[in-house]
């Protein structure tokens, strides 16, 4: 039966190729949308497990509202806290406004106790801690802007209206290339530029063990409850994904586009299979007169439809997986993180969708063709 399915598909090679290509392109887009939809609601995962050891503390009314710098010592003193560092996102750029990257004012003594996956040579770490104007960046960012140790760097256009001018004293490496795109300078220096308001936008906290994270988060929020600057403590993954909400209802838009693409694929395959079945109704009648049963005729047409949609799934979804695995995306812009990978459940979802559309596209025409009176079917002109 499957040999007959393949022979029938190869009768009109051009139509089969164009239909399969349309399905492949549509399923590439659909699998990409499904991946993004899943990623925007999924916490970032780190193979090293570091994300499960870190918490982000911000003000309960929003990250743009600061907290006193005195919170750092109180958080660090809690049981289960290994390290705590202040962190202010500057939102600055280098040279030109298109050269935008993630830059932070951080605690120079504690940042690399929290961000342990960064590998910074001991002499460079000592220089960073020792010098007030020192800064550290990731290797990837340094290569992008051709920075080298000792370079003087001015950060322009920050949210705070100040222009930090720092000296690059360290270049760190990290397991993931995307983690090498951050830039750190002294929070004390930044605070001086701001005339010492002693205000911190967020605290980056590392706990001793992953299982301690929920308890520590509750303890931090309880400690500052009923103060003028109450806190909201969440995992690093939840905090980073919170930036995506600033983009609006992206998941809703993706869902709507995905539904439209699914409907378009169904129309493409249904039109092709309806034309093919209509042209071959007399042939189906001949097969029935030779002893083929109605269910075999239906199975033949359904098989052709499934081969088209599943071939499109293999090419489209497989191509999407290869592409996104190679790109290793984990961000939208510079500050919205998510886990953009083609996960097995996304691949299986697209497979089920392709399988279902293959059945729906040809089910009704195939059933009608198999039930026609043989004499009428032989006289049928498609």
Q: pLDDT of 141-175, one tens digit each? A: 999 999 999 999 999 999 999 999 999 999 999 88
- pLDDT confidence bin for 47, thresholds 50/70/90: very low
Mean pLDDT computed over 234-250: 69
Q: What is the DSSP string of 100-117?
A: B-EEEEE-TTTHHHHSTT
* Count of alpha carbons within 13 angstroms of residue 263, beta-carbon side: 6
Average pLDDT in the 197-223 region? 94
* Dihedral angle sign, alpha carbons of residues 97, 102, 106, 112: negative
Average pLDDT of span 95-110:
92
Alpha carbon 19 to its chain centroid, in Å, reads 30
Q: Which of 21-35, 241-255, 342-356 has the lowest mean pLDDT?
A: 241-255
β-strand partners of 136: 170, 184
Q: pTM for this structure?
A: 0.66
User: Could you give the C-alpha distances from 362 to 50, 135, 258, 294, in angstroms and in order?
Assistant: 50, 64, 22, 15
Report DSSP state, residue 340. Answer: -
Average pLDDT, the chain: 84
**C-alpha–C-alpha distance, residues 344 and 341, integer Å:** 9
For residue 165, what are the β-bridge partners?
154
| Residue 335 pLDDT grade (very low, low, confident, very high; cuts 50, 70, 90) | very low
Is the pLDDT at 97 greater than 70? The verdict is yes
Q: Give the count of beta carbons closer than 10 Å to the beta carbon of residue 217.
A: 21
Q: How many other CB atoms are there within 10 angstroms of residue 257's CB atom?
A: 15
pLDDT of 323 higher than 80: yes
Residue of higher predicted confidence among 161 and 39 = 161
């Amino acid at each position: 039966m499957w040999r007959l399915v393949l022979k029938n598909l190869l009768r009109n090679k051009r139509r089969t190729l164009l239909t399969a290509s349309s399905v492949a392109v549509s399923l590439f887009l659909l699998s990409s949308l499904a991946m993004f939809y899943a990623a925007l609601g999924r916490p970032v995962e780190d193979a090293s497990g570091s994300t499960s050891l870190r918490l982000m503390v911000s003000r309960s009314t929003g990250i743009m509202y600061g907290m006193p710098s005195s919170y750092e010592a109180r958080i660090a003193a809690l049981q289960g806290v290994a390290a705590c560092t202040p962190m202010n996102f500057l939102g600055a750029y280098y040279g030109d406004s298109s050269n935008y990257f993630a830059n932070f004012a951080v605690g120079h003594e504690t940042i690399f106790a929290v961000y342990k996956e960064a590998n910074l040579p001991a002499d460079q770490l000592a220089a960073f801690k020792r010098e007030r104007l020192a800064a550290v960046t990731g290797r990837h960012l340094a290569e992008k802007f051709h920075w080298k140790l000792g370079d003087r760097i001015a950060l322009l256009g920050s949210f705070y209206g100040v222009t930090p001018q720092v000296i690059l004293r360290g270049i760190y490496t990290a397991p993931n290339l995307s983690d090498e795109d951050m830039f750190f300078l002294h929070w004390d220096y930044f605070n001086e530029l701001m005339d010492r308001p002693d205000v911190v936008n967020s605290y980056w906290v590392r706990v001793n063990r992953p299982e301690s994270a929920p308890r520590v988060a509750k303890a931090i929020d309880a400690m500052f409850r009923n103060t003028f600057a109450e806190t909201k403590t969440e995992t690093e993954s939840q905090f980073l994904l919170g930036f995506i909400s600033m983009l609006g209802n992206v998941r809703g838009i993706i869902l709507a586009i995905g539904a439209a693409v699914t409907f378009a694929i169904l129309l493409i395959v249904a039109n092709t299979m309806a034309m093919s079945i209509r042209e071959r109704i007399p042939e189906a009648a001949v097969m029935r007169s030779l002893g083929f049963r109605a269910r075999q005729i239906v199975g033949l047409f359904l098989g052709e439809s499934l081969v088209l949609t599943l071939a499109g799934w293999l090419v489209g979804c497989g191509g999407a997986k290869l592409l996104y695995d190679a790109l290793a995306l984990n961000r939208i812009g510079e500050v919205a993180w998510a886990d953009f990978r083609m996960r097995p459940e996304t691949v299986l979802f697209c497979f089920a969708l392709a399988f279902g559309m293959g059945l729906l596209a040809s089910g009704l025409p195939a059933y009608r063709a198999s039930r026609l009176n043989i004499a009428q079917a032989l006289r049928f002109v498609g």
